[in-house]
Amino acid sequence: MTPLARLLPLVLAVAACRSASVVAPPPQTKPASVPVANDALDLGFDPTAIDVAASPCQDFYQFACGAWLARTPIPRDRSSWSRSFSVILERNQNLLHTILDAYAAGHVNLGEPDAHRVGDFYASCMDEEAVARAGQEALTAWLARIQAVSSLDDLATLARWMHDSGFNVFFTFGPDQDFRDATRMIGEADQGGLGLPDRDYYLKQDPSSKKLRDAYRAHVARMLVLAGESEATAAVNAEAVMDIETRLAQASMSLVMRRDPRNVYHLLDRVGLDNVAPRFPWARYFVGDLTNVTVINVAVPDFFAGLNRVLVDVSLAKLRAYLLWHAVSDHAMALGPRFVDESFAFSRLLTGAEVLLPRWKRCEEAADGALGEALAQPFVKQAFSADSKQRALTMVRAIEEAFARDLKDISWMDAPTRAAAQDKLHAIYDKIGYPQTWRRYDEVAIDRTSYIDNVLAATAFESARQHAKIGKAVDKKEWSMTPVTVNAYYNPQLNEMVFPAGILQAPFFALAAPAAANYGAIGMVMGHELTHGFDDTGRKFDKDGNLRDWWTAESARAYEAKTACVVRQYSSYHAYDDVPVNGSLTLGENIADLGGAALALDAFRHREGAHAGSVAGYTDEQRFFLGLAQAWCTNRRPELDRSLALVDPHAPPRLRVNGALSDLPDFASAFACKSGLAMAPADRCTVW
């Protein structure tokens, strides 16, 4: 994934459609001017965040968040700032900062075998002068390798090395579960090779998109100049890069199409891949630990046919320019300040952030990416107790019980489909906090002298670890997020829900918080992830994770009628200004939001029950809904709004709250909303 792609992690995290997550806004930093009151975090909702002038029945998001939105600036180094994700991430990062400083100084504890590696990795990242020196040496070596490419055989050999080293060129290759046999891991070749976050950035013809492409072309040229090319040569090569990436974008499948797993499953063998893209010398790519790979899912055959046309039509000189661009772009942070500054200058057009994050935060993120399960161990010890894990698990089980009750009452689902759905529900595997067994990094050679070498070593280790999975049985104990991550996910191929310790923090979740607030905030997230198992993508996988149609035709038609209502509802909303929400792209997340709110409320009622009286003037159920809404209080920059409207599979925060709760009659009852008001419409969408 390129640095530009990493600027929109919430988009790219679900691009492959295999798993779905609640997906936090981009990581944020708490501005010093906005202190976080501990009592508000302990309470689970903040009465001072409420806009008492707003009507909860007209715009509940404004009512719940309005005062907070008005008083909370976005830090200059961030594209958005949220009351939950951002505050939690800031707290987590501060704790990790303390841990990393101690590790870098050599202060490690027994039982933390990779602590020295983590400390050395972080120390090498923090030394900017050494980073620049080592980066220049590495770049010189890369340039020599690229210039030595004199045939397509050489190109394939170099592409393999670049993939193993973390460069995003031409396509992606790695392991995945076989959609039709969830017990085994197979190889998967998929579309890739773009410098902008998605294909539509290259293809849309509106003035804003054209202006962004012009800026991108100029940015590519400036990066190539930093790599040593003359301005004239860089300008020519930037055009070549733009041409190649546009061709790849034209051959790529859209995000909406990728949401259907049947569209990205085409099981071929090596010969089949040769037939789709014969111009690429696959024998030069499938060497070493990939020599014996035979079964391959070619996710998007049309993409590889398009790649083949690129290799037929485009000269080696232009292909070398494309490789050079990705060499300087994809590891820009490890090449020194000049590359970092230029990369950030362009990223501002996508995110609106005004200044770079402090270096220690960028190095903390890099350490988490490279050695995440080693860094997570001291974090978990300090930030996530056994009591917290047990409480979270109890809540997850309550959510699952709520879904079981829901299945019994659904009138549109017939008995055979209902029984299969119950089987799938009872087979879900819950992961809370951190893995049962920590990953070791003994084979990763880390020292303090070269940050880029450390990055490449960690990347090569991960590539080899991933390649080793192909042809093996699926490891159901593995995690796809590090435990410090402020996020959560459901994976339909494993039929599992995962809630890292990083997100199980206040104000999402706290042992001291009232049940109403916990169920409203993290309970909604738990219900959201569970509902992903039965959204329009998740429902296509059975209890074992196989892509199999376990629905009767009658129940499937009823389900599709209900989801069509959700598409229409969200398509009527606007992401910002006059830009509509893509109701088809956001369908899965919208279904999950609707289900998450309903399941969390039902679980709260059955496990806790409503109590008489009120707190801060609000009843238990009102505080449930306030806790839910305030978890999504978010200020975003217009540049980010524009970027996400194009490719984000989630509706904006305001609509995630208002859209879901307006479909819930219990919300209208809790706030005595009259029928016909915005939060109590006459026609509602329901799925689960």
Residues annotated as part of the active site: 529, 593
How far is Cα 417 from Cα 556, in angstroms, rounded to an integer?
A: 9
Tally the C-alpha atoms within 13 A of residue 270's C-alpha that lie toward its C-beta.
12
Q: Distance of CA 483 to CAs 227, 451, 504, 530, 561, Å?
A: 37, 24, 10, 19, 38
- Angle, CA of 383, 388 and 393, to the nearest 5°: 135
CA–CA dist 43, 566 (Å, integer): 33
488: amino acid identity, one letter: A
Distance CA 501, CA 510 (A): 11
What does 633-677 look like in DSSP terms, one character per residue? -EEE-HHHHHHHHHH-SS--HHHHHHHHHHT-HHHHHHTTPPTTS
H or E segment to which residue 293 belongs: none
Give how far the C-alpha of residue 214 lies from the chain's centroid of Cα atoms, to the nearest Å: 27
Helix 152-164 / helix 316-330 crossing angle, nearest 10 deg:
10
Q: Tell me how far apart the alpha carbons of residues 109 and 131 are, in angstroms, rounded to a whole number.
A: 28
How many whole angstroms separate alpha carbon 428 and alpha carbon 534? 12
User: Among 343, 359, 358, which Cα is nearest to 122's?
Assistant: 359
Q: How far is CA 209 from CA 2, 213, 378, 646, in A?
A: 20, 6, 45, 10
Pairing of strands 496-500, 429-433: parallel
d(CA 125, CA 105): 14
Q: Tokens 């790695």 correspond to what residue?
A: 174
Where does 108-203 show beta strands of DSSP type E? 171-178, 181-191
Residue with tokens 């968040």: 65
Strands 579-580 and 574-576: antiparallel
Q: First CA to last CA across the chain, in angstroms?
A: 35
**Which residues neighbour 525 within 8 Å (Cβ) at sequence distance 6 or greater?**
22, 488, 499, 503, 508, 596, 631
What secondary structure, in 3-state letters, does 8-28 show?
Answer: CHHHHCCCCCCCEECCCCCCC
Query: Rounded to an integer, what distance in angstroms lies between the CA atom of residue 68 and that of residue 49?
Result: 4
Structure tokens at 543: 């209890």
* Identity at 142, one-letter amino acid code: W
To the nearest 10°, report the CA torsion of 668, 671, 674, 678. -70
Give dist(CA 229, CA 206) in Å, integer. 32
Residues 587, 592, 595, 596, CA torsion sign: negative
Q: What is the 3-state secondary structure (H, E, C) of 44-92?
A: CCCHHHCCCCCCCCCCHHHHHHHHHHHHCCCCCCCCEEECCHHHHHHHH
Contact yes or no for 282/274 (Cβ under 8 A):
yes
CA separation for the pair 129, 135 (Å, rounded): 10
Both tokens assigned to 352:
């609106």
Sheet holding 267-268, edge to edge: 171-178, 181-191, 296-298, 267-268
